[in-house]
Structure 1
């Protein structure tokens, strides 16, 4: 598969172990993946190229995934990009009321469930 044919997924996750697992999983499934460990890195990547999907952790060292989701969904140039929020805290009902993400997943997550969601949303963009 040509690199141009691959779907691009940005992952904003400060936990290196989780970021590595997601990157490995998506790369194995022939996605192009960019893992960012900080909000600053994420916005830098966004300024260079728009992805087909974004996976956002909620609690980050230099920001909040909910705020990023709101910014993305309010911006005309990014509102159509599917966003999946993930959190280690089981308060997704609160998260859903604060952010118009396309999908929500709790950590730890089932790898098959995660991939099904990415496949669905990245190809519906």
Structure 2
């Protein structure tokens, strides 16, 4: 029986960062749906069943904290782990504002990032 790869939804407005993270996660044998905007993310969230969300805090058309709050208050997605990312190093402020399972500051160590993903996906 073929093992199904786990799916991660990535919301990151910076094209370069989004492409690098998607590549890293694909190399770790995860399927990735990567979104540049909150609008595109919200359009697709009703269609899929991801195993994890990776969300940037500061986005061009919205705020990752608001997206996190929306996901955690939705019966269909409240149980899915969320990793928040931000160049803002005030992670305690971010953690107080949303109920994400984890937070990582950008720029981040690639090995640390991958380790955190594995922690929630295993």
TM range (shorter): over 0.9
Alignment match, 1:114? 113
Encode CA deviations 1:92-117: one digit per residue, 9 max, x unaligned. 11101100000000000010111111
Match of 2:43 in 1: 44
* d(CA) in 1 for partners of 2:33, 2:74: 21
TM-score, length-scaled by structure 1: 0.93
Q: How many residues in Structure 1 have an aligned counterpart in Structure 2?
A: 122
Q: Deviations 1:19-41 (Å, cap 9, x if unpaired)?
A: 01101101111110011000011
Structure 1 residue 122 displacement after superposition: 2.1
Q: TM-score, normalised by structure 2?
A: 0.96
Decide which structure has greater helix share: 1
Q: What are the Cα deviations for residues 44-82 of structure 1, in whole angstroms up to 9, with x where unaligned?
A: 121110200000000111110000101111111110010
Q: Which runs of 5+ in 2 are unaligned?
A: none
Tell me how far apart the structure 2 counterparts of residues 38 and 78 of structure 1 sit (CA, whole Å).
19
Q: Does residue 25 in structure 1 map to residue 24 in structure 2?
A: yes
Partner of 1:16: 15
Moved over 2 A (4+): none
* Structural RMSD (CA): 1.3
2:90 is the alignment partner of 1:98 = no
Unaligned runs of 5+ in 1: none
